Structure 1
Amino acid sequence: MPVVLSLNVAQKTMPVDYARAGVTGIDKRPVDGPLLVSPVQPRGEEGSGVAGDSIGDWTVHGGEYQAVYAYAREDLDWWQSELGAELHAGQFGENLTTQGIDHTNAVVGEHWRIGTALLEVTGPRIPCRTFAEFLGQRGWVKRFTQQVRPGAYFRVLEEGLIGPGDEITVVHRPDHDVTVALFFRAVTTEAALLPRLLAAGDSLPPEVVELVHKRSVVELDPQA
């Protein structure tokens, strides 16, 4: 059965010279838990939805549609083999390291019951310079993008406690084809896919809806 293998938080941000904010909370470490997971305000107003977790730059991370980030242990193991280096739970900045559930092909808008909390899939993680510098991997952004193993972001629909060992149950799956993988490809390498994302409705982050509409305007009027 799908489970949470590890619950990970950054108990404080660390100063770095490669992050725009000068600090980062990407280095998350396993904790015993359980921890309270709560809905948060839009990006810029609040950070993580996981109690005790720190985020360095609220302007680009955290907020309602990125309240929780999860990554599969199976994908960490794949990268571990590719990189020839051990990857501990939380090293990709994920709050939840899971086992037995596919994030890449999850449908945006899926509801996952984990512990006593209810989470909604809202999209993929997009790699950035901070991620690359933290791992010390040259060309990491391109390499991570090519493999389409981004993990999934969630917003919190119902507050609750999540801890290691909690079962994960998909209790709702929308009737559309906007997967985390499709979303990721649309905003990274295949912009022609962007209009398809609108099928995800209110589960789609507002900035992505804006991106789709901007592209539509440009296509109709290249001078816009």
Structure 2
Amino acid sequence: MIDLTISTVLLGKAVPFGPPGRTSAIGKTPVDGPRAVGVNGFLDDEQADRRVHGGPDKAIHHYPLDHHAAWRDDLGEDLPLLGTPGAFGENLSTRGVTEADICLGDRLRAGTALLEVAQARQPCWKLNHRFGVPDMAKRVQTTARTGWYYRVIDEGAIGPGDRLTLVERPCPGWPLARLLRVLYVDTMDRAALAEMAALPALARSWKTLAERRLERSAVEDWAGRLNGD
């Protein structure tokens, strides 16, 4: 049973970031009260590149503070972002639930909104610049400490201190940890890919990814996403 407190809600604006000419809203800051949520996420939040960020299937990003201790073990204690909500550009920060506990399609009440888990995060090169660690995106992918995205089923408002409560679990056999394993470890498990592609709650882009792997018998190239090439 998932029933915990949303410790922090974070929003951000797109600003120059990384190489010249690039922008990002990965630098999000905490808010002090409820904020309105629509089908594309928090109304006061921004995404710099809507081709790959935001939209109904990636409306709200959730990252667990539970992972920060492991990141400090991996990277050392001298990264000021670690231990601070918003380090990974998330909108919601909590303790008490990770990718092992959340399943695809889970519906959770958050404040007065109803959210549905649509996919895990596919980390990109912007994490490398944010942390000053050249392979940070690859580390996030390899460790499966990615966080996840919600779509918004019922619009409402979410604020720090609100409860996050599981109300429905239609896909108990698909925790996000399993989804990430199929995506990045057992990459050509054809039975799992076929099952994944048929999951009704899965984001359309991930359905397409699974279908293409099955069709081509090959894994897509991750270099551009992870390295910014």
TM superposition score normalised by structure 1: 0.86
Amino acid at match of 1:13: A
1:120 matched to which residue of 2?
A: 116
- Give the residue type in structure 2 aligned to 1:206: R
Distance 2:73 2:162 in 1: 27
Cα root mean square deviation, aligned: 2.0
Task: Show the counterpart of 2:26.
Answer: 26
1:205 to partner: Cα distance: 1.1
Give 1:8's match in structure 2, choosing from 10, 18, 21.
Answer: 10
Partners of 1:25 and 1:54 within 8 A in 2: yes
Q: Which residue matches 2:221? A: none
Identity %: 33
Deviations 1:4-23 (Å, cap 9, x if unpaired)? 0100011x21112438x710
More off after superposition, 49-58 vs 74-83: 74-83
How far apart are the structure 2 equivalents of 1:144 and 1:91?
12
Deviation per residue, 1:105-159 (Å, 9 max, x gap) = 3110000101100000111111111111111112212222221111111000000
Question: Which of 125, 145, 156 is 1:160 aligned to?
Answer: 156
Alignment check: 8 A CA contact 1:71 1:103 kept: no
Corresponding position of 1:45? none
> Does the 8 Å contact 2:16/2:22 carry over to 1?
yes
Query: Whole-Å Cα distance in 2 between the matches of residues 175 and 140 of structure 1?
Result: 30
Moved more, 28-37 or 100-109: 100-109
CA distance in 2, matches of 1:112, 1:217: 34
Change (3 A) 1:129 1:217: same
TM-score normalised over the length of structure 2: 0.84
Of the three residues 147, 153, 156, the one matched with 1:151 is: 147
C-alpha contact 1:104 1:148 (8 A) present in aligned 2: no
Which residue is equivalent to 1:209? 207
List per-residue Cα deviations over 1:68-88 (Å, max 9, x = no partner). Answer: 000111113332343213321
What secondary structure sits across from 2:199 in the alignment? helix
Q: CA shift at 1:176, angstroms? A: 4.3
State the secondary structure of the residue aligned to 1:107. Answer: coil
